[in-house]
Structure formats: structure tokens, C-alpha cells
């Protein structure tokens, strides 16, 4: 059954999808560093939504929707309008192309990021495996 995007249930499914992805496990075996994903209002989304992805050595250690006012320290932040995130989730926008064209903004330790492009791609592949109900 489809799960509503950006709901607490959905982010849990996202975490499960990452852990069920053996290609991610292999590509990110060395990776440490949590990610904050900030989805900005656009289209049918009229407010900011932030969620946390715990990532450690090939495992997703936890996911949750960040409450307003909370500001967990994360090594990486991926931000962008809702519409662009939907395109990524549907496979219509390549993440790297999104970042290079300014449609998505990625900040964090550059050395790690540039070493992790395969791991990043597998996170996106995991996202595309979720049965998502879009807004």
C-alpha cells in the first residue's frame, strides 16, 4: 500500500529501503555522517519539512521527521523545493544534475561527498523503491 510522502511512516520506509539495498551497503561501507534533508515549500507543499537520515558504515541507523525548532547536527544537508524532490523520487531528475543545476543544494564535507557518489546514487535508488503516495 502506498505511503504518504514526508510522513513519519514514509521516512521509516525510506530507512528500511536503504537497509534492504545491498548495493548501498557495499558502496557506503566506509561512510560515516548523518544527513538532514530539508524539503522546501513548492507546489502542493506549503511548509518546510525536514527529516533526519542516520547513516553509518553501510547502515541506515534511523530516520525521523524533525520537529519544528529542533536542529540536529548533521554532517550533510540536502535541500530543495518539494517539486524537485518529487522528480528525484520518480527518477525524472538525476540527483547530481539537480545539484549541479542548482535545483538542489548539497552542503557538507566535500571530500567525503565526492568519494561517495555511488553511495549517494544508491540512496536515491532506495528512495525509488518505496511505494509513495505523492501530495
Partner 1 sequence: MVIKGFIGKILDIDLRSKEIKEISLDEEIAKGFLGAAGYAVRYLYDFIEEETDPLGPDNILMFMTGPLCLSNAPTSGRFTVCSKSPYTGIWGEANCGGYFGPELKKAGYDGIIIKGTSDDPVYLNITEEKAELKDASHIWGKGTLETHEIIKEESGSNLTRVACIGQAGENLIKFATIASEEKAAGRTGMGAVMGSKKLKAIAVRGAKRKFEAAKPDQYKEAVNEMIGNVNNSFTTQMFGMLGTPGGVDKYNMEGELPIKYWTQGQWDGAFNISGATASEMIYTKQYPCYSCPIGCAHKASVDEGQYAFEGEVEAPEYETIVSFGSLILNDDLKSIVKANTLCNDYGIDTISGGGTIAFVYYLYNNGKISSEDIDGLEPEWGEIEPALEMVKKMAFREGIGDILAEGSDAVGEKFGISQDEIATAIGQEVPYHDLRHTWGMALAYSVGTTRGPCHCACDMYMVLLGLPFQDLGIELVDKYSDDEIMAKNCAIEYDYRSLYNSLVLCIFSNPPPDMVAKVIETATGLDFDIERIKITGERIYTMKRLFNLKMGLTPEDEKLPQILLEPLEEGGSAGKTPDFEKLKKLYFQVRDWDPETGYPSPEKLEELDLDNI
Q: How far is CA 116 from CA 14, 57, 88, 110, 132, in A?
A: 19, 12, 18, 10, 26
Contact between 4 and partner 1 by CB under 8 A: the answer reads no
Q: What does the alpha-carbon distance between residue 5 and residue 104 come to, in Å, rounded to a whole number?
A: 18
Say if CB 63 and CB 51 are below 8 A apart. Answer: yes
110 interacts with partner 1 by CB under 8 A: yes
Mask 62-101, x = binds partner 1 (CB under 8 A)?
A: --------------------------------x-xxxxxx
106 in contact with partner 1 (CB under 8 A) = yes
Exposed/middle/buried for residue 126 (C-beta within 10 Å: 0-12, 13-18, 19+): buried
Q: How far is the CB of 102 from partner 1 (least distance, A)?
A: 6
Asked if 32 touches partner 1 (CB under 8 A), the answer is no
Please say which residue, 124 or 130, places its beta carbon nearer to partner 1. Answer: 124
Interface residue with partner 1 among 4, 57, 90, 118 (CB under 8 A) is 118
Question: Please, which residue, 32 or 101, has the CB nearer to partner 1?
Answer: 101
Closest CA to 31 of 70, 58, 5: 58
Rounded Cα–Cα distance for residues 11 and 67 (Å): 14
What residue ranges bind partner 1 (CB under 8 A)? 94, 96-103, 105-107, 110-115, 117-118
Amino acid at each position: 500500500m502506498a505511503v504518504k510522502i514526508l510522513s513519519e511512516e514514509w521516512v521509516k520506509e525510506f530507512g528500511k529501503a536503504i537497509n534492504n539495498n545491498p548495493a548501498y551497503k557495499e558502496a557506503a561501507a566506509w561512510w560515516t555522517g548523518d544527513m538532514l534533508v530539508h524539503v522546501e515549500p513548492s507546489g502542493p507543499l506549503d511548509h518546510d519539512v525536514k527529516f533526519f537520515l542516520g547513516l553509518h558504515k553501510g547502515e541506515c541507523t534511523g530516520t525521523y521527521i524533525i520537529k519544528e525548532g529542533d536542529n540536529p547536527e548533521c554532517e550533510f544537508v540536502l535541500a530543495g523545493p518539494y517539486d524537485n524532490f518529487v522528480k528525484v523520487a520518480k527518477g525524472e531528475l538525476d540527483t547530481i544534475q539537480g545539484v549541479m543545476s542548482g535545483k538542489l543544494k548539497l552542503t557538507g564535507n566535500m571530500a567525503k561527498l565526492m568519494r561517495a557518489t555511488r553511495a549517494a546514487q544508491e540512496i536515491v535508488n532506495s528512495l525509488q523503491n518505496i511505494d509513495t503516495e505523492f501530495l
